[in-house]
């Protein structure tokens, strides 16, 4: 293609990106998008996300274009440079996301996973440490001194095994309810089921066990 055709393609790509960004930005508010923490900008967050995707697409396009031009010029002298270039590109991408988890330019305000308090999780080690922290449901009071956790566990197994086994619900208990601090929601829902046999007193005991020992 000539330079004029290339210019038209670039203008089309830029216009398409601008239109897509506008739609992306508008839909983020129409769909009820909310930032995960109050100290994060509701305007810049979707724009940064879209900018990251555009940068990734542009980088991939440049790599493909470069490899295409190189493949057209391959001869005996270029035979070794072609695979070496691919290795260098892959190594650079690997290093940007693994060797430097904070980014090529160091730690920035943005992160990979945003917590509700506005802090970020940027590595596997930080994520593992976060998951290891105890999570208590805010609506479940902590057990008093001398609370019989063994008896509470037996009560939980006796009452809740009537309709299903604990093994069949353990994953959802640990993730959907325990990790989100909503143990009281699932216990209340179960004791309201007809024929469950779970009294409000039983429910309070089971909540304390699941909240602190699950």
Query: What pLDDT does 77 receive?
Result: 58
Domain count, the chain: 2
Residues 96 and 161 in one domain: no
**Cβ proximity of 142 and 210 under 8 Å:** no
- 113 and 153, same domain (yes or no): no
Please, which pLDDT band fits residue 9 given cuts at 50, 70 and 90?
A: low
Query: What was the pLDDT predicted at 151?
Result: 93
pLDDT at 12: 75
* Predicted local confidence at residue 206, as pLDDT: 92
89 in a structural domain:
yes
**Pair (45, 96) in one structural domain:** yes
Instruction: Please name the residue ranges forming H helices in 122-177.
Output: 124-132, 149-160, 166-172
CA distance 47 to 45: 5
Residue 205: its H or E element: helix 200-213
Query: pTM value?
Result: 0.45
| Average pLDDT rounded to a whole number, residues 186-192 | 88
Q: Give the Cα separation of 179 and 8 in Å (integer).
A: 52
Q: Kindly report the backbone phi and psi dihedral angles of residue 121, in degrees, each rounded to the nearest multiple of 5, phi listed first.
A: -110, 120
Q: Are residues 117 and 166 in the same domain?
A: no
Cα→Cα distances 110→14, 39, 115, 119, Å: 25, 12, 12, 9
Asked if residue 80 lies in contact with residue 74, where contact means CB atoms within 8 angstroms, the answer is no
Structural domain boundaries, residue 85: 34-121
> What's the CA gap between 156 and 206, in Å, rounded?
6
> What is the distance, to the nearest Å, from the Cα of residue 136 to the centroid of all Cα atoms in its chain?
21
Mean pLDDT of 11-29: 74
Q: What share of the chain is helix, strand, coil (3-state, %, to 5)?
A: 60, 0, 35
What is the chain's alpha carbon radius of gyration, rounded to the nearest angstrom? 27
The reply to whether 156 and 115 lie within a common domain is: no
Q: Please, which residues bridge with residue 121 across strands?
A: 113
């Amino acid at each position: 293609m000539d330079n004029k055709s290339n210019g038209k393609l670039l203008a089309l790509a830029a216009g398409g990106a601008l239109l897509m960004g506008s739609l992306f930005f508008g839909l983020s508010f129409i769909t009820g998008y909310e930032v995960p923490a109050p100290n994060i900008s509701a305007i810049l967050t979707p724009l940064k996300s879209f900018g990251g995707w555009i940068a990734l697409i542009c980088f991939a396009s440049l790599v493909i274009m470069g490899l295409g031009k190189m493949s057209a010029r391959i001869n005996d002298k270029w035979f070794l440079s072609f695979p070496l270039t691919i290795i260098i590109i892959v190594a650079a991408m690997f290093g940007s996301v693994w060797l430097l988890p904070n980014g090529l330019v160091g730690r920035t305000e943005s992160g990979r996973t945003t917590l509700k308090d506005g802090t970020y999780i940027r590595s596997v080690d930080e994520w593992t440490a976060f998951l290891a922290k105890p999570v208590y449901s805010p609506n479940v009071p902590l057990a008093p001194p001398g609370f019989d956790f063994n008896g509470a566990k037996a009560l939980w197994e006796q009452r809740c095994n009537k309709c299903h086994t604990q093994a069949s619900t353990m994953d959802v208990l640990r993730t959907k309810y325990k990790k989100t601090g909503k143990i009281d929601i699932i216990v209340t829902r179960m004791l309201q089921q007809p024929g469950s046999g779970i009294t409000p007193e039983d429910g309070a005991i089971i909540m304390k066990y699941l909240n602190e020992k699950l």
